Each structure stands twice: as structure tokens, then as C-alpha cells.
Amino acid sequence: MTAKDIALSELHTLQEIIKDVKDIELKALMIEINAAKRIFIGGAGRSLLSMKSFAMRLMQTGHETYLVGEVCTPSIQPGDLLIVGSSSGKTEIVLCLVKKAKSHGARTAVLTMHTDSPIALEANCVVAIKKTPPVRDTDEYATVFAKKNMPGNFNEAALILVLDGIIGCLMEEKKQTIETIRYYHANLE
């Protein structure tokens, strides 16, 4: 087994996971994004790393976007949207963020594996990204290894890909191209 074998097996499993994401849920999140005055992005752990990538792309497509917890992040207000990622849907700090955002009149959305979790039940909008599929008799060794030993990888990678899909659709709706991203791309590097 090689690193490439594992990567290719993960790719195949990711296709299986993303195929089950519901278009209606993605559209609902896009409606929330388009209606939001400002967008706040949050999460914890590796889910937060995936969400940071999304925050950058939102900013690069002209959305006023902030990362929760940064020193220059303003207060959340009515008309704003908090989007969080939480694989488990029960990370306490993320649940607190969702509740606090709602208490200030903001809308909330979560991308999670568990639609019956505390965060999902609290959020206004939920996008379900299913769990890592079980090991099957037909799985190759690299797939079995990845599913058993690196199950968290699948959710975070699926999260990035699904959110990239949303960015692409938002760009298409607004007739944006790579030139929009280049305009907003960081230039103090």
C-alpha cells in the first residue's frame, strides 16, 4: 500500500459521501448566504480548518466575512449569518456560538454528520454530510485502512469540497469569474 493508494481510496469514498448531500439543503444555505448582511464562520478543531478555507473564498467573492474569535471580528447583529462546521454536532463551544448568535438576532447554519445533534436542532439551516461509510467486503485494503484509521479525514475533506461547490454556484449566480477572486485575493503576502 502506498500513500497514493490511500489518497485514491479516500477520493472514491468522498465521492460516495458527497453524492448523498441533498441539493435542497445546499440551496437553503445559499439562500441564507445571499440574504445575509455579514457572514461569520466558526467551528472547532479540524472542522474549523475546513471552515476557514470557506471563509476565505466567501471574502474573495465579495462577501463581508469574519472568523469567530479573531481580534478584528465585530459583534454579530440581526441580518447576519453564522455558519459553523461540526462533524459531531455536539461540540460544546460551537453549540454556545450558535446559541449566542441566535440570541443576538442572527441566523445560523451548520454542516454536520448528525442532523439530530444539539447544534443541528438549534440551527436555522442544516446541511447533512453523512458519516464515513462502513467497511465493505469489496473494499480494497487501502480503503479499509483509511475508513478504520482515518475516519475524520473524510468529513473534513467532504466539508471543503461541498463548500467549494457552494462557492462555485454563488459565483455562477453573480456571473463572477476568477477575476473576482484575484481582485479580493490577499496582496500583502
Query: How far apart are the C-alpha atoms of 52 and 67, rounded to whole Å?
Result: 7
Catalytic residue among 92, 122, 156, 179: 156
Dig out the grid coordinates for 77 from the structure: 447583529
| Alpha-carbon gap, residue 14 to 105, rounded angstroms | 35
Query: What distance in Å separates the CA atoms of residue 110 and residue 87, rounded to the nearest whole number?
Result: 9
Strand pairing class (81-85; 65-67) = unpaired
Active-site annotation holds for 156: yes
The sign of the dihedral angle between the CA atoms of 34, 110, 164, 75 is positive
The grid cell for 85 is 462546521
Residue 184 has φ and ψ, to the nearest 5°, of -90, -5
Residue 71, all three cell numbers:
481580534
For the annotated catalytic residues, the residue numbers are: 156
